[in-house]
Structure 1
Amino acid sequence: MSKPSVYLSLQGVAKSFGSFTALRSIDLDIFKGEFVCFLGPSGCGKTTLLRIIAGLEAQDSGRIVQAGKDVSWLPPVKRDYGIVFQSYALFPNLTIADNVAYGLVNRGMPKAKVEERVQELLTLAGLPGSGGKYPGQLSGGQQQRIALARALATSPGLLLLDEPLSALDALERVRLRSEIRQLQQRLGVTTIMVTHDQEEALSMADRIVVMNHGVIEQVGTPEEIYLAPRSPFVASFVGKINALQGESLGGGRFRLGCVDVDCSNGANVPAGRPVRIYLRPEDLVAHKPASDNAAQAQIRKIEFLGAHSFLTLAIDGMASQTVVTSIAMQQLEEYGFTVGSRAGIAVLPQRARIFDAQMEAA
């Protein structure tokens, strides 16, 4: 299979606001037809980067090349994209049909063609027959579907989504993120979505760009970001994590308090080096009998989440450090675990990520 072509290239993009540096020399290639999420906490630069791509904000330096054309200093109207905002940004005094048709009318498309395209888009958005209504008559999720239809009306080469789901309730967010992803795959439009919601990014993206303090921490597939974080920040920001202080004994063995564990990913860490070992809740297995790489612990808290629960455990010999592990409901019942009861805890050593203790997670 041939490698997809680069559709959008960001080259050394930087931006400051007074003494605040929002972006530090961003380099990133986005492939044609790809769905990419810019993920990070508030103030990390992800929205500023999206606005620069759209021409709504001017970079201080760097180039933006879209479909082989340098668009670095073109105004928004000269760039080939559609955009959807968090706030829907529909015209309240225009009907749904007129909102969707807005860009087409401005381009001088014949009326019959406009009407045909509007009906096609309303059907695509799952709202056929709603053209005569006004935005105020629709739910938040329906309004965002219309905003998406309007953004796609001119068949742009690039679709930009700026926190499009954050104003919706939880159920509508889950429903709409699935619909957006399916629509994007059906149309094959190159898409960039800004979000601070890790679950959205993991479930929707082909690749995730994790940002922090104006730089890119890591770019990778959802699986790579979750299972193989390259920095303490990525490990801590994406998904639930246990960060345990320890010391390398050499040869992939580590001491955590009075507990020694084998972690094959740390075979090259010199003996005596202080480390932090990052483990997902599913990388720690709670059970009744002792086993290899196991310790004994006391259950401090049980957080019921339906099909599974999170157990907070204090491991013997690890001083004040606690860990969180995930356990299926049937196992919770089978083992008879309750707050205060004892449990064995085993580490899946191949899943541990080892970082120098002096590296910052935020």
Structure 2
Amino acid sequence: MPKQNQYLVLNNISKSFGNFHALRDINLSIAEGEFVCFLGPSGCGKTTLLRIIAGLESQNQGRISQAGKDISWLPPIKRDYGIVFQSYALFPNLTIADNVAYGLVNRGQSRASTKTRVEELLTLAGLPTSGNKFPGQLSGGQQQRIALARALATSPGLLLLDEPLSALDALERVRLRGEIRQLQQRLGVTTIMVTHDQEEALTMADRIVVMNQGEIEQIGTPQQVYLQPGSPFVASFVGKVNILRGISLGDGRFRIGDLNFHWESSVDHIPAGAPVKVYLRPEDFVARDAENRTHNNAMAEILKIEFLGAFSYLTVAFEGMQQQPVVTSMSLNLLKELRLKVGSKVLYGLLPERIRLYRDNEAEPLVMIKPALAEAA
């Protein structure tokens, strides 16, 4: 678990490139030992913010403190961090051992202590016998392990990861993200990772900073960001979601098509008659014992089944709101148990505590199925 004292504090960080505002008034505190992900689409400012923390870009205004020290305008060489880039950035003409030792040699560390530290890091990276090889002899995942070992060689207080997994194939990404997380927890190093992949953020982070158009939309644990999105953008960006249009009936009720539903939320009251957008994740619909789990029940016809192994996505049309079909999820076992196929009808329940409702202030299509970022990449 992360320690409680604040290790890195950002106050009122802003950055513009000409007339383009890349960052607007960013405030963030990161605890010692915490793993934080900056998550957002391309152009949201997450990489710019990471580069400002590293001193590779200068903010137009704002203050940064690390371990109680003001580093706002220090050059990169005087800041205490290690960094790993998407492109590995290993020296192709140096051996793996020399790549890992690079920062130690520049600091004038003795040859014996450098050799010991390199051996320790190669073992930590799972490549203890690769010291005499060159980067071109290693796979992409192995090269990124070496880049990580090099970043950790000087025992920095802060580790910065700039989309370190995006150049790898899907299987290697899953394997390496688990290894990075385990290593971070073992060493207790405060870590910031930039990613556009919501699955990486959900599986790796202690907290996620969701960014959009140069601003922070929400900060929270993976569970908070996924289950309690703080804005329509977060609700649609993190995870797979159905976005439907309806009308508020007031008092925790709304209507989609001819169907009325109840919902539970602590957000501001939405008056009766106001157009709303309804955000529903595929798992918010339940088909087992639906009539006993919620009063939000309706029959639906299965239009399409997308098999994904352990579970499937079912596109269904509810009686009374056929113009707005939705995507639901169902485990392989339940799909077989209920013997469902295209054309089958099933009673679904919609869990009221999982519904997210927002005022509809924009003209949009009736329904939009937003895929998870990992699937769209």
Say yes or no: does 1:236 pair with 2:230. no
Cα distance in 2 for partners of 1:224, 1:59 equals 30
- Name 2:351's counterpart in structure 1: 348
- Name 1:226's counterpart in structure 2: 226
Alignment deviations for residues 291-315 of structure 1 (CA, whole Å, 9 cap, x no partner): 6311122211111011110101111
Q: What TM-score does the superposition give when structure 2 sets the normalisation length? A: 0.92
Q: Is the 2:82–2:156 Cα contact (8 Å) retained in structure 1? A: yes
Among 333, 338, 341, the residue aligned to 2:341 = 338
Among 327, 330, 333, the residue aligned to 1:327 = 330
Alignment deviations for residues 37-57 of structure 1 (CA, whole Å, 9 cap, x no partner): 000000000000000100111
- Name 1:93's counterpart in structure 2: 93
- Name 2:374's counterpart in structure 1: none
- Name 2:367's counterpart in structure 1: none
Three-state SS of the structure 1 residue aligned to 2:116 is helix
Cα distance in 1 for partners of 2:266, 2:16 equals 39
Cα distance in 1 for partners of 2:2, 2:24 equals 32
Q: Is the 1:266–1:354 Cα contact (8 Å) retained in structure 2? A: no
Cα distance in 2 for partners of 1:201, 1:2 equals 17
> Which one-letter code corresponds to 1:145 in the other structure?
R
Q: Is the 2:56–2:76 Cα contact (8 Å) retained in structure 1? A: yes
Say yes or no: does 1:315 pair with 2:313. no
Alignment deviations for residues 259-307 of structure 1 (CA, whole Å, 9 cap, x no partner): 0111122794322222112121111123698663111222111110111
Three-state SS of the structure 2 residue aligned to 1:219 is strand
Cα distance in 2 for partners of 1:319, 1:282 equals 19
> Which one-letter code corresponds to 1:357 in the other structure?
D
How much identity, in percent, do the aligned residues show? 70
> Which one-letter code corresponds to 2:352 in the other structure?
P
Residues 105-124 of structure 1: pairs in structure 2 closer than 5 A? 105-124=105-124
Cα distance in 2 for partners of 1:264, 1:52 equals 41
Shift of 1:254: 1.1
Say yes or no: does 1:217 pair with 2:208. no
Q: Is the 1:217–1:231 Cα contact (8 Å) retained in structure 2? A: yes
Cα distance in 1 for partners of 2:81, 2:362 equals 39
Cα distance in 2 for partners of 1:131, 1:170 equals 26
Cα distance in 2 for partners of 1:36, 1:43 equals 19
Cα distance in 2 for partners of 1:2, 1:345 equals 41
- Name 1:254's counterpart in structure 2: 254
Shift of 1:3: 6.7
- Name 2:361's counterpart in structure 1: 358
Cα distance in 1 for partners of 2:2, 2:31 equals 12
Q: Give unpaired runs (5+ residues) of structure 1.
A: none
Stretch of structure 1 that moved more, 236-245 or 188-197: 236-245
- Name 1:166's counterpart in structure 2: 166
Cα distance in 2 for partners of 1:209, 1:70 equals 22
Distance change >3 Å, CA 360–CA 33, structure 1 → 2: farther
Three-state SS of the structure 1 residue aligned to 2:336 is helix
Q: Is the 2:210–2:234 Cα contact (8 Å) retained in structure 1? A: yes
Q: Is the 1:10–1:27 Cα contact (8 Å) retained in structure 2? A: yes
Cα distance in 2 for partners of 1:186, 1:359 equals 47
Distance change >3 Å, CA 77–CA 307, structure 1 → 2: same
- Name 2:309's counterpart in structure 1: 306
User: How many residue pairs get matched?
Assistant: 362
Stretch of structure 1 that moved more, 37-46 or 308-317: 308-317
Large movers: runs of 4+ above 4 Å? 287-291, 359-362
